[in-house]
Amino acid sequence: MTDQSTDPTKLARRFGTPLYVYDLDRARAARRDLFAWLPEGFEVFYAFKANPHVDLVRALRTGEGPTCRAEISSTGELAAALEAGYRGHDILYTGPGKTPGELSEAVGQGVGTFSAESLSDLQHIGEAALAHRTVVDCLLRINSATASATTSIRMTGAPTQFGIDSETVAGLAPQLRSVPGTRLAGLHLFSQSNARDEDALIGELTHTIAVAAAIQEDLGVELRLLDIGGGFSVPYAQQGGRDAYPKLRDELAAALDVHFPRWREGTPRLAVESGRYLAGDSGTLVTRVTNVKVSRGKKFVIADAGINTFGGMSGLGRLMPVTVHVPTDAETEKASLVGPLCTPGDVLGRQIELPANLRPGDLLAIPNTGAYGPTSSLLMFLGRPAPVEVAVSGGRVVSATRIEHARTPVERGPR
């Protein structure tokens, strides 16, 4: 039974709504499970974009067993990583639009590994390193011309801002190997998100390993680190648990034995990255009903959480419909769950199952909301307060915080 002091609905009465509750013990359990699915020796990068909450990040960095390294793509995420206790050598800095200013700050803070999306991106990283009189390791992100699995977000095989087109690597190899301020450390391939099932995940990751072996030949450089990406799945604002991957360890090991026969000796080091799998099922969003109305025969339940609170993925068609917790013996009815914003787009679910006879003041709990929550939502739209975020662990509240926005004077523009 859930400890009453950390029960999300009890916390909502204490801290108000909208409210996120992050169970750090569940995040640690997800980390333990993910490492268990992988061959021994794999590293795991936590993708901060899923949820950069410092207590959650710190929970994934510390504790028993293997812990996560950090994958970031902004100086804001860098600040969160450093606050959570990461050192520069623990961090992989990624992203297609790194500015000179943020590269300088990252190198200055000791970040030693970057993912380069193009030759020019690699050159920009090298310039920042040279300005700090150092040399940094770089992974070349590859946009493979081919893919294996079908997924809701495909990040390779088409023209994209992400990665170097695989068919161009051989011709670029001399230039890629000789950028001042950089060392080619390996490859970064991330082709999908949220694989539909274990076979799809295995198919994509083993295909990625084969592509990486071919790229190694094209480069003429032995890889020291190979990041094969992710795709590990957990429901997003839906009932259900994280996916299991009992076949993954053996299938990856077999593919690596073929393409990288020295991998068991640590050449190359292997890594995956994950955000939603590690954070997703740690979170519960609690929202309060503010009004109930009927319009032309359709019922609308209006809540104080909308796409400003939980809407970051709605533009990708991945949000609707959410589900809410309904006691097993409760009567339900179909209604649309909408937020408080003055826009018809503020919809969390159309004609979904909700408890019958809801009234203003009633609480609704949306599961699996630990990933892609406040920081990927329309947080400042219409100036409503950000939700409170409460982290819990071991039956106690670790922290209760809210993101605050303030307009401050700027002496110079962004770099």
List 122's β-bridge partners, or say none.
none
* Residue 411 pLDDT exceeds 90: no
Query: What's the average model confidence in pLDDT over 4-32?
Result: 95
* Alpha carbon separation from 185 to 141, 177, 178 (Å, rounded): 11, 10, 13
Q: What is the pTM of this model?
A: 0.93
Residue 353 to residues 174, 344, 348: CA-CA distances in angstroms?
59, 20, 12
Q: Is the pLDDT of residue 159 over 60?
A: no
Q: How many CB atoms lie within 10 A of CB 105?
A: 16
Q: Residue 151: is its pLDDT beyond 70?
A: no
Band of residue 415 on the pLDDT scale cut at 50, 70, 90: low
The pLDDT of residue 152: 47
pLDDT at 157 exceeding the cut of 80: no
Enumerate residues 6+ apart whose C-beta is below 8 A from 298: 335, 336, 351
Q: How many CA atoms lie within 13 A of 194 on its CB side?
A: 14
Nearest CA-CA partner of 195 in 272, 255, 270: 272
Q: How confident is the model at residue 156 (pLDDT cuts 50, 70, 90)?
A: low
Please answer whether residues 320 and 347 qualify as being in contact, where contact means their C-beta atoms are separated by less than 8 angstroms.
yes
Q: Which pLDDT tens digit goes with each residue over 23-42?
A: 999 999 999 999 999 999 99
> By CB neighbour count within 10 A (0-12 exposed, 13-18 middle, 19+ buried), where does 405 fall?
exposed
Residues contacting residue 282 through CB under 8 Å, at least 6 positions apart: 22, 23, 24, 26, 27, 30, 56, 370
- Return the structure tokens found at 147: 């893919």
Task: Check if the beta carbon of residue 128 is closer than 8 Å to that of residue 100.
Answer: yes
Please report which confidence band the pLDDT of residue 162 belongs to, taking 50, 70 and 90 as the band edges: confident
Of 318 and 285, the one with more pLDDT: 285
**In this predicted structure, what is the pLDDT of residue 1?**
37
Would strands 332-338 and 298-303 be described as parallel, antiparallel, or unpaired? parallel
Work out the pLDDT band at 321, boundaries 50, 70, 90. confident
For the chain, domain boundaries:
94-274, 281-402
Question: Are 200 and 151 within 8 A, CB to CB?
Answer: yes
d(CA 372, CA 262): 37
pLDDT, tens digit, 9 for 90 and up, residues 40-63: 999 999 999 999 999 999 999 999
Peptide bond into 409 cis (omega under 30): no
Q: Is the pLDDT of residue 83 over 50?
A: yes
User: Taking a C-beta distance cutoff of 8 angstroms, is the pair 353, 366 a contact?
Assistant: no
Contacts of 168 (CB under 8 A, 6+ apart): none
pLDDT at 208 over 60: yes
pLDDT tens for 84-122 read: 999 999 999 999 999 999 999 999 999 999 999 999 999
Does position 289 have pLDDT exceeding 80, yes or no? yes
- List all residues 6 or more positions away from 329 whose beta carbon is below 8 Å from its beta carbon: none
Task: Tell me the average pLDDT of the chain.
Answer: 92
- Mean pLDDT on 276-297: 97
Task: Output the pLDDT for position 329.
Answer: 85
Which pLDDT score is estimated for 193? 78
Dump pLDDT digits (tens) for 332-382.
Answer: 999 999 999 999 989 999 999 999 999 999 999 999 999 999 999 999 999
Q: What number is the average pLDDT over the span 15-21?
A: 98
Q: What is the mean pLDDT of residues 63-67?
A: 95
Tell me which CATH code domain 94-274 carries: 3.20.20.10
Would the pLDDT of 73 be above 70? yes
The pLDDT of residue 139: 98
Per-residue pLDDT, 158: 62
The span from the CA of 258 to the CA of 264, in Å, is 12
Tell which CATH architecture fits domain 281-402: Beta Barrel (2.40)
